[in-house]
Amino acid sequence: MVFTKCRRSRPGSIGAATEAYAFQLAKRTRWRWIWLAAAGLACSPIRIPPTPGASPEVVGTTISRADAIADIDTMMRILEDVHPDLYAERPRDSVSMARARIVAGLPPSMSRAELWVRLAPLTASLGDGHTSVYFPGEEVSRMVAGGARLFPPQVVQDDAGHLIVAAPVARDVEIEAGDRILSVNGLNADSLVRAWTNEVSGESMRFRVAGVTSGFRSMLLLHSIGAPYTLQFERAGGPPRRAVLAGLTQDSLRALVLGNAAGRRRTATPNFSYEKLSPGVGYMNFRTMGGDPSVFRGDVAKMFAQVGADSVQTLFIDLRSNGGGDSRLGDELLRHLTTKPYRMGGGKQWKMSGEYRTYFKTWVPAPLRWIHAWNFFGVGRQLMHGPDGKIVDLPESAEAHSSAGPFFTGNVCVLIGRQTFSSAADLADGIKTYRLATLIGEETGGRPNGFGEAYVFRLPKSQLAVSVSSARFVRASGDTSDHRGVVPDVAAGPSELAASTLSIQSRNCSKF
């Protein structure tokens, strides 16, 4: 029997009818210890059960006040059981008072979406990006299927805290990229963003804001702000203007987005896309670290073959929209770039609750589970024996990984930003700590010193999904006092890192 290291991811999106709400689904799962059979089993036969979907019967229904209170009680009990330090950022008494206020304000009945609006700020206030009530995407999907129309523009927040149009998306509209949105249906746009950041779990305000703006279409519908969308906006400090947008169906939104991206030659996979930007310059948009590492291994090898065919001398790897997942994908990428020893983290302290141990067992194939295979290994015994609440310390050392072909020897820049989170932030942290490449962009929204290894469960009455961290992570340097995100080597805002300007930034890129 062998005992090997695996990392698990929980990829996916919330609500097929809207853009991916990946900022809440991306789970920090840098690595997990798994017990395996001596018969040569590798990590792949260990199946991590997906979180069950909400029952179709509950979507669109109302929840009684008594059932909502039962869900709140269940949620708080499991959060306290599983989390290694639930009140690290907010004192227990403060959380208890907030819970009491929620209960006191509950109406006789409410929709699942209305319950989410009440519960999400409570978990978000704990300051842990992996402890959250998941956005109820099923409810947004139901609205869109019933005829609700989506807000067309893509939006971002500028450095002054204003909501700005990043792309109009819809055709034949008066708004343009760069316009400031003053209000939507009479509601102050900047105030909406500020209010909704309280509903998004994250380790920095920058990350929360990015989550709100990237999911702005869905948030509008969830808060009963629908089409037609009446906008007050201004252009370059000019006088306020007014526009009325009819809204888009999901199919028309998808067609417009795909149409706007057409004409650029690129290789696309579920994890990333690649394209040659200019002579000697290649660009990989590494969007997610979720999925099967063996599939990614083949996909990224094909990409580097294309990198070679394109005679790329400088490669940009973009982690700015990567919310994390399985860090083995980061290892597979780096095998094409370096043979230097590195680590993505200094280790973790893992809390073993009754809930997590029961969940652990579901990973293991039945024959190994029947014989309690974890008892054959020291780490397995540490994890599965002892009192509930036990903390198991699992340090990690720097190690060299074998190279993979095609091996890239050119210059590399890694782009990071406020939506770089979880295992993607750990990847950036390892790259910076061991000087594997130049980091350009903004400080990451994820903090390498933080929590992760999320346990996901559904509340019994509403079936809202909740995640809770079970482990505390240490950043690659081992410095537990550094509570910032990963700081870039070269600071640059989004406008400086547009695809059309990356060739200019290539002068900053270094060799591995």
Q: What are the pLDDT digits (tens) for 144-199?
A: 999 999 999 999 998 889 999 999 988 778 899 999 999 999 999 999 999 999 99
SS3 278: strand
> What is the fold of 154-248?
Pdz3 Domain (2.30.42)
**72 in Cβ contact with 118 (< 8 Å):** no
**370 in Cβ contact with 489 (< 8 Å):** no
> How much is the pLDDT for 42?
34
Q: What is the mean pLDDT of residues 93-122?
A: 97
Report the chain's C-alpha Rg in angstroms. Answer: 23
Q: Give the model confidence (pLDDT) of 38-72 as tens digits.
A: 323 333 334 455 677 888 889 999 999 999 999 99
**353 in Cβ contact with 448 (< 8 Å):** no
SS3 11: coil
> How much is the pLDDT for 119?
97
Res 36 pLDDT > 90: no
Alpha carbon distance 425, 427 (integer Å):
5
**From 257-266, 279-288, 440-449, the region with the lowest mean pLDDT:** 257-266
Give whole-number Cα distances, 432 to 374, 438, 506, in Å: 35, 7, 17
The CATH code belonging to domain 266-346+397-452+477-511 is: 3.90.226.10
* E strands, 383-432, in order: 390-395, 411-416
Phi, psi torsion values for 81, nearest 5 degrees: -65, -40
Res 314 pLDDT > 50: yes
Alpha carbon distance 315, 503 (integer Å):
10
> What are the residue ranges of helices labelled H in 245-344?
250-261, 293-309, 328-334
Task: CATH 3.90.226.10 in the chain: give the residue spans.
Answer: 266-346+397-452+477-511
Q: What is the mean pLDDT of residues 370-395?
A: 91
> How much is the pLDDT for 268?
85
> How much is the pLDDT for 262?
52
Structure tokens at 386: 């002892």
Res 110 pLDDT > 60: yes
Give the dihedral sign, CA 212/214/216/218: negative
Phi, psi torsion values for 355, nearest 5 degrees: -65, -45
> How much is the pLDDT for 55?
86
Alpha carbon distance 146, 143 (integer Å):
5
Q: What is the mean pLDDT of residues 357-381?
A: 88
> How much is the pLDDT for 18?
32
SS3 380: helix
Of 20, 30, 25, residue with least CA distance to 10: 25
Phi, psi torsion values for 430, nearest 5 degrees: -65, -40
Q: What is the mean pLDDT of the chain?
A: 87
> How much is the pLDDT for 508?
84
**Other C-beta atoms within 10 Å of 507: how many?**
10
Task: CATH 2.30.42.10 in the chain: give the residue spans.
Answer: 154-248
Tell me the sheet residues that pair with 64: 109
Res 223 pLDDT > 60: yes
* E strands, 303-443, in order: 314-318, 347-352, 390-395, 411-416, 438-441
**230 in Cβ contact with 186 (< 8 Å):** yes
Alpha carbon distance 329, 249 (integer Å):
35
Q: What is the mean pLDDT of residues 25-48?
A: 39
Res 2 pLDDT > 80: no
Res 267 pLDDT > 90: no
Structure tokens at 339: 């043979």
Alpha carbon distance 253, 256 (integer Å):
5
Res 30 pLDDT > 60: no
**Other C-beta atoms within 10 Å of 64: how many?**
14
The residues near 262 (Cβ < 8 Å, ≥ 6 apart) are none
Q: What is the mean pLDDT of residues 339-355?
A: 95
Residue whose structure tokens are 């991590």 = 48
Amino acid at 60: G
Give whole-number Cα distances, 134 to 241, 290, 472, in Å: 36, 17, 21
